[in-house]
Structure 1
Amino acid sequence: MSFQNSACNIYIDSDPGDTDRKTSLQATCNNDQGTGITSQIKLDEALGNQDGRFSWNGQNFSNTARNVRLGMEGKREPVLHAELQDDSGEYRESEARLGEHVGNIDGQLRWNS
């Protein structure tokens, strides 16, 4: 199930880090009892950059990204937007639909299997 249907306060947080940049998705997710719990998931654990395009089952997209931002489109669908560096060093706009890959399991953001 797409997490956004049982979550609010959805946003991304970027950590510049000492050597690697990291981006996390954060939200207040309802658990099975309906209580809101703050949860986060590290997007760089499953999202990479392949020649300037987001790539699921990749890693560390943040290291070659700029202007990373989250938009809510359509019926509250969270879409990650960024300019990603391609193999020639140029940046191009890319997007990843987070609701297709992230779920809410009892108040915790988790990768959909």
Structure 2
Amino acid sequence: MGFHKTSMDIHIKNGHVLCAYCQRRSGEATYSELDLNNVLGAKKGKFAWSAENFTDDASDINLQWEGPDREPFLHAQLKNYENGSKNEDCVNLAACIKNEDGHLRYMDCF
């Protein structure tokens, strides 16, 4: 289950830090942060999980809620060094990030 279903006040800080209050098993919510630069990179103008430092190649970074389940998608313009262009890309953060007893955690998902 994606972290967004058991978290609130989800937002991006400094363009790369995912922040949220995540519910614990006890029912209380605790503040948690996950630096996306440690788990998300960019390759050929596309987001890439299990990579690093996507912000080195990104601009116009923003979080949007999409789909019927209102899932958190990170959007950005990413440099493509092969042809010198910038590509708009997005990644569903709920696909690879979970709430582990009140802490945002990356899970190897691909």
> Please, what TM-score do these two structures have when normalized by structure 2?
0.92
Q: Could you say which residue in structure 2 is the equivalent of 1:86?
A: 80
Amino acid at match of 1:3: F
Matches within 5 A, 1:1-113: 1-14=1-14, 23-74=16-67, 75-87=69-81, 88-113=83-108
Distance 1:14 1:82 in 2: 14
Q: CA RMSD in A?
A: 1.1
Distance 2:94 2:27 in 1: 20
Letter in 2 for 1:9: D
**What amino acid does structure 2 have at the position aligned with 1:94?**
D
Q: Which stretches in structure 1 are left out of the alignment for 5+ residues? A: 16-22
TM-score normalised according to structure 1 size: 0.89
Segments of structure 2 that go 5 or more residues without pairing to the other structure are none
Deviation at 1:14, TM superposition (A): 1.3
C-alpha deviation, 1:112, in angstroms = 1.7
Q: Distance in 1 between matches of 2:53 and 2:23?
A: 28
The alpha-carbon deviation at position 90 of structure 1 amounts to 1.6
Helix, strand or coil at the partner of 1:70: strand
Number of aligned residue pairs: 106
More deviation in 84-93 or 66-75? 84-93
Moved over 3 A (4+): none
How far off its partner does 1:5 sit? 0.7
| Residue type of the alignment partner of 1:66 | S
Q: Percent identity?
A: 34
